[in-house]
């Protein structure tokens, strides 16, 4: 299996691929893995395993609250790779979402080796641009690890082409300028961004940020190759009275959203 195979299967079924995000260590390492497994049970095909970071520039208040708890719990890089392996065992493809400083601190070679050994398929680096990623691209190309860069509504056509030429797996299209989090309505900028990106790349394009309901998923699935949901799952866990209740609700939301991915 590979990220590409997920998008190929979704295309054959006339739907968008369903991608979910959840941070390791929230509310505990063990419980975060149970939540991720429930997301896959509900229909998530690519799981973004979040590596908590103390200065998460792209994360909104919901995910920040969760990652703060994870950091207070002392989450480690080994916890991240163990979570990857546990989710890979469910049959889903796994990408680590990490800020660049964490990878650089661990060491690029060591990070890639550990991720490959855990069965991970890709890494999403929200704060790393292709201009500054020569060593990263060399190592990931050599080790056949997909690397995912981001584009946003303010990205120039030249920037979008550079990201398309530099990425492997898919392109992450941020639906708006800002941080992650649930929104009452999606920005119309997202569809225009996907249209612009298709002019310069054949890679699948997945849209994230602000997608919190099945209706949001249905709207994005009409024009994107993949739909990314994160804060909506985190909010459930923040608000649930017990972890068992959270798991039931997370699985149910994933099922509803997966059904909404059909075009």
Name the residues annotated as catalytic.
Answer: 48, 59
Burial call 213-249: b when 16+ CB within 10 Å, e when fewer: bbebbbbbbebbbbbbbbbbbbbbbbebeebeebbeb
Using alpha carbons, list the distances in angstroms from residue 189 to 65, 173, 178, 186, 226. 27, 10, 12, 9, 16
Please, which residues have CB within 8 angstroms of residue 247's CB and are 6 or more apart in sequence? Answer: 34, 35, 38
CA distances from 174 to 40, 74, 150 (A): 23, 30, 7
Say if CB 127 and CB 151 are below 8 A apart: no
């Amino acid at each position: 299996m590979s990220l590409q195979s997920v998008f190929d299967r979704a295309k054959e079924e006339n739907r968008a691929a369903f991608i979910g995000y959840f941070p390791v260590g929230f509310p505990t390492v063990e419980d975060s893995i149970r939540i991720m497994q429930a997301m896959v049970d509900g229909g998530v095909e690519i799981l973004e395993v979040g590596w908590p970071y103390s200065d998460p520039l792209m994360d909104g208040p919901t995910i920040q609250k969760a990652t703060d708890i994870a950091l207070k719990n002392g989450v480690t890089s080994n916890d991240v790779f163990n979570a990857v392996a546990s989710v890979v065992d469910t049959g889903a493809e796994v990408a680590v979402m990490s800020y660049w400083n964490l990878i650089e601190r661990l060491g690029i070679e060591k990070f890639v080796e550990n991720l490959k050994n855990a069965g991970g398929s890709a890494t999403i680096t929200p704060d790393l641009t292709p201009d500054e990623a020569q060593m990263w691209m060399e190592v990931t190309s050599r080790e056949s690890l997909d690397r995912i860069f981001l584009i946003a509504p303010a990205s120039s056509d030249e920037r979008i082409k550079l990201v398309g030429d530099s990425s492997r797996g898919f392109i992450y299209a941020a639906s708006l300028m800002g941080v992650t989090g649930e929104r009452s309505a999606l920005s119309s900028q997202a569809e225009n961004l996907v249209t612009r990106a298709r002019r310069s790349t054949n890679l699948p394009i997945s849209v994230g940020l602000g997608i919190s309901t099945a209706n949001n998923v249905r709207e994005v699935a009409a024009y994107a190759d993949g739909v990314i949901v994160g804060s909506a799952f985190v909010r459930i866990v923040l608000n649930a009275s017990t972890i068992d209740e959270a798991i039931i609700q997370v699985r149910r939301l994933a099922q509803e959203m997966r059904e909404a991915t059909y075009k």
